[in-house]
Structure 1
Amino acid sequence: MGRLIAIIAPIAILVVVGGFGVGTVIAMKPVPEKSDEPRPGLNVFAEQVRTGDLTVTVDAQGEVRPKREIVVAPQIAGRVTYVSPDFIDGGFIKRGQVLVRVEPADYELTVVRAKSVVASAEQGLAREVAEAELAQQDLDNLGLTDVSPLARREPQLAEARAALEAAKAQLAEAELSLARTAVVAPFDGRVRERSVDIGQFVSPGQSLGNIFATDVVEVALPLKDADLGLLGLPIAFAASDKAPGPKVVFSAVVGGKPRTWTGEVVRTGAAINSQTRQINVFAELKDPYGAGADDGAPMAPGLFVTASIEGEVVKDVLIAPRAALRGQNSLYLGDTKEGKLSIRPVEVVYTNQDGAYFRGGAEPGELAIVSPIQAAFDGMSITVLERMPDGTVKTHGEAKKKPADTEAVADASTKDGTEGGAQ
């Protein structure tokens, strides 16, 4: 028994002493301080929401075409005796200029014959007038009043007058055919192509070439119904002095350089395309080879251009970067006081590469977030960074210590300093 106690007693003493030591160590372990600072949020860049006026623009593309283009063709037959040196591919022509002349000899002879017929008809009419006067004198001498028109030679006189009118008509026709031996330009323009030369026999209606007017060119721009609504254009639109069409800026690369020309919308198409469900809007540029040219570069027919059509001006809308708009109508904003993400619905008016234009959901001066955020949710912790005009970056919503923590730190520093001084 005494031996068993001798074995157990040391073990019990060791357990008691060890337990007391562990308890003492645990009791003396310092309590970790709890930090009241918020966890730092995701760093995101943002730009301020501002107000302004919106000028809606709609972009479209189309091919430049002359407003007037015709096929040059003679109205008579004959052999070509003259072709204007300006009547060549790319040549400039003037209104009234003779382009092609057909041999006139046959038509000159026809005019001579027609004049002879007119002279004979005039002689016949004079003879009938004289005979009608003699017949009337004879009737008066005989005292006859109730006689037939034939006795007064009225039908013969009417026939002579009709013969003279027919002869004059034949002369006018012959002179008209003679005048048509010269094919003249009906407007100022340019020659697209020529298909005739001297010595060639031509027939009425045969193509001699193509010319187009250079006073106006037009571009057909296909637009959707929604685009027409943005521009404020009805389907049956026609420009007038009281209701001018929207301004259009055409652009293309000509000669390796970007060029621009300014025109206007003059009308809309008569019907909607059944296949594309679009309607053509026609824009014109005046004097494309003169005052309308860009530093001498004309907006020539056949050129493919991009057109930017200016629509109505919307006053006082909110403007944010395009990247701040998420989905169709959600805007990401940064709450700089709380350091939180705020997702708000907005009424989108228009968007383009320059920004998103909307109403409601935000106030001017708030920060719209442009950085991409994955798995975003309302109230998400963020740190908003704003790039200032001078290039520096301003951090909003940085974590700040509470006043109590600041005082505690100050007290501790004072105590340490005092103790250090005592030592």
Structure 2
Amino acid sequence: MPDVFSASSTDNRRPHKIRHIAVWLTAVLALLLIAALLVLQAPLPATQTPASMAPSVPVISVVAQDITIPVHSQGHVRMAREFYLSSQVQGQVQYVSEHFINGQQVQQGELLLSIDAAPYELEVRQHQANLDSRLLQLEEIRAQAEVARQQASENDFARYIPHLRMANSQVAAARAALQYAQQQLSDTRIYAAVSGRIARATIQPGQQVSPAMVLGVIYDDNWQEIRLPVSDHEAQLLGIRPGTENPSLAVTLTTAGGTKIPAQITGSEAGRDAFQQIILLARPLYSADITPLLPGTFVEAEILSPVITGISRIPRSALQAGNHLLMVDQQHQLHDVNAKLLYAGKDQLYLRNEFSTPVLLVNSSRHALLPGSQIIPVNTGSREQLATAAGE
């Protein structure tokens, strides 16, 4: 009986186990089928050609030319001449011009100050009266001398010769005294000796002044100058030689506000400054529409050298480490060239390399490039320059 029950239970569990296995097999097959479908429906990888390994590098076309080299300097405007206003007489100031103020413009011959003239007018009248008296006395002695001459006297005293000599001397002295008094009267009126700007004016009406007292200063704008320091090498470029006449050089002054004023080099100082530089003296050339600069104004100066032949000009970015250049040939391959530096300007470099025909130079020092490397030139100039320099 127990055996029969055991066999019956085993027969009942077998179909259940078979169904369980079938479910698992179905699930595995379904997963495999889904995986196969995903693989079959995946997009094919795009086929791309490898990009060129040559870097794109900016280049510039350069050719030797006959050019002027700008030398830059800077300085402050100062007065080369100052005209001092002083009193030649003593007295009280009665009149002060409205233009006699620091910074005001005055014209040559303009009345600036007047001093009380009454005492000097009295002096003139007194000396005029004295002169008239001496002239009258001279006429009387001349009349007496004429009578004595007609009497044919041989005695000088009898002919009034000493009397005439003394009378003439007294007249000359009286006339000189009158002229001096007239000059003092004229000196009570003080005029502008030149056209310019008033500085250091401190006189007010009613103030007492004395001879040789400085009343103010006139800055003559026609006598301004700027001290421009340059190195020995820059002076050589400009053609300035000690002991020789300075060449005619074009100079442009630029103020902080951007105003440009032409100038000329008038000479150089005999000595050097504290930095052992040569000091050039430049004079501004003002036109009618340009207001003269105030003393102390800071200006930058650009001085153009005489024309120099066979000079190549490049931007600073084209100079590689160690003063070298990278030249690009027609196959866009790089070649190392030694830079023969003549002058390093503010923005440009000037070379002695005589590139008689246009050449392409790498215009960047940021790329790690070696001679022999292949590049793709990207022109920073015109297409025509690039085509000409590349020989295309």
State the Cα distance separating 1:118 from its structure 2 match: 0.6
Q: Deviations over 1:84-143 (max 9, x none)?
A: 112122222121111110000100010011111111211222222222223322235xxx
Residue 255 of structure 2: which of 252, 255, 268 is its match? 252
Matched residues, percent identical? 28
Report the CA distance shift for 1:252/1:325 in structure 2 as closer, same or farther (over 3 A). Answer: same
Residue 161 of structure 1: which of 153, 168, 190 is its match? 168
1:267 is matched with: 267
The 1-side partners of 2:286 and 2:93 are apart by: 33
Structure 2 counterpart of 1:161, which letter?
A: N
2:186 is matched with: 179
The 1-side partners of 2:262 and 2:110 are apart by: 31
Residue 338 of structure 2: which of 324, 332, 345 is its match? 345
**Counterpart contact for 2:64–2:353, Cα < 8 Å:** no
Report the CA distance shift for 1:292/1:285 in structure 2 as closer, same or farther (over 3 A). Answer: farther
TM-score (norm 1): 0.70
> Is residue 95 of structure 2 the alignment partner of residue 49 of structure 1?
no
State the Cα distance separating 1:375 from its structure 2 match: 8.5
Residue 59 of structure 1: which of 60, 72, 90 is its match? 72
The 2-side partners of 1:223 and 1:303 are apart by: 19
Residue 379 of structure 2: which of 347, 367, 387 is its match? 387
Residue 232 of structure 1: which of 239, 242, 247 is its match? 239
1:419 is matched with: none
> Is residue 364 of structure 2 the alignment partner of residue 371 of structure 1?
yes
Structure 1 counterpart of 2:265, which letter?
A: V
State the Cα distance separating 1:362 from its structure 2 match: 4.4
Q: Alignment partner of 1:234: what SS? A: coil
Q: Alignment partner of 2:213: what SS? A: coil
The 2-side partners of 1:319 and 1:390 are apart by: 16
Q: Alignment partner of 1:194: what SS? A: coil
Structure 1 counterpart of 2:362, which letter?
A: I
Structure 1 counterpart of 2:289, which letter?
A: A
When structure 1 is superposed on structure 2, of 344-353 and 188-197 the one drifting more is 344-353
Residue 309 of structure 1: which of 288, 303, 318 is its match? 303
**Counterpart contact for 1:71–1:211, Cα < 8 Å:** yes
**Counterpart contact for 2:134–2:167, Cα < 8 Å:** yes
State the Cα distance separating 1:389 from its structure 2 match: 5.0
1:207 is matched with: 214
The 2-side partners of 1:292 and 1:195 are apart by: 29
The 2-side partners of 1:263 and 1:106 are apart by: 50
The 1-side partners of 2:107 and 2:273 are apart by: 41
> Is residue 348 of structure 2 the alignment partner of residue 355 of structure 1?
yes
1:22 is matched with: none
**Counterpart contact for 2:311–2:354, Cα < 8 Å:** no
2:44 is matched with: none
Structure 1 counterpart of 2:193, which letter?
A: P
State the Cα distance separating 1:238 from its structure 2 match: 6.1
Report the CA distance shift for 1:176/1:261 in structure 2 as closer, same or farther (over 3 A). Answer: same
The 1-side partners of 2:212 and 2:107 are apart by: 22
> Is residue 219 of structure 2 the alignment partner of residue 221 of structure 1?
no
The 1-side partners of 2:252 and 2:332 are apart by: 47
Residue 320 of structure 1: which of 305, 314, 323 is its match? 314
Structure 2 counterpart of 1:273, which letter?
A: R
The 1-side partners of 2:314 and 2:82 are apart by: 48
Structure 2 counterpart of 1:387, which letter?
A: N
State the Cα distance separating 1:216 from its structure 2 match: 4.8
What is the RMSD of the two structures over their aligned residues, measured on CA atoms?
A: 3.0
**Counterpart contact for 1:80–1:100, Cα < 8 Å:** yes
Q: Alignment partner of 1:227: what SS? A: helix
**Counterpart contact for 1:54–1:357, Cα < 8 Å:** no
The 2-side partners of 1:118 and 1:375 are apart by: 100
> Is residue 281 of structure 2 the alignment partner of residue 286 of structure 1?
no
**Counterpart contact for 2:328–2:359, Cα < 8 Å:** yes
Q: Alignment partner of 1:276: what SS? A: coil
1:20 is matched with: none
1:17 is matched with: none
Q: Which runs of 5+ in 1 are unaligned?
A: 1-38, 141-146, 395-423
Report the CA distance shift for 1:51/1:206 in structure 2 as closer, same or farther (over 3 A). Answer: same
**Counterpart contact for 1:195–1:209, Cα < 8 Å:** yes
TM-score (norm 2): 0.75
State the Cα distance separating 1:148 from its structure 2 match: 5.3
> Is residue 149 of structure 2 the alignment partner of residue 136 of structure 1?
yes
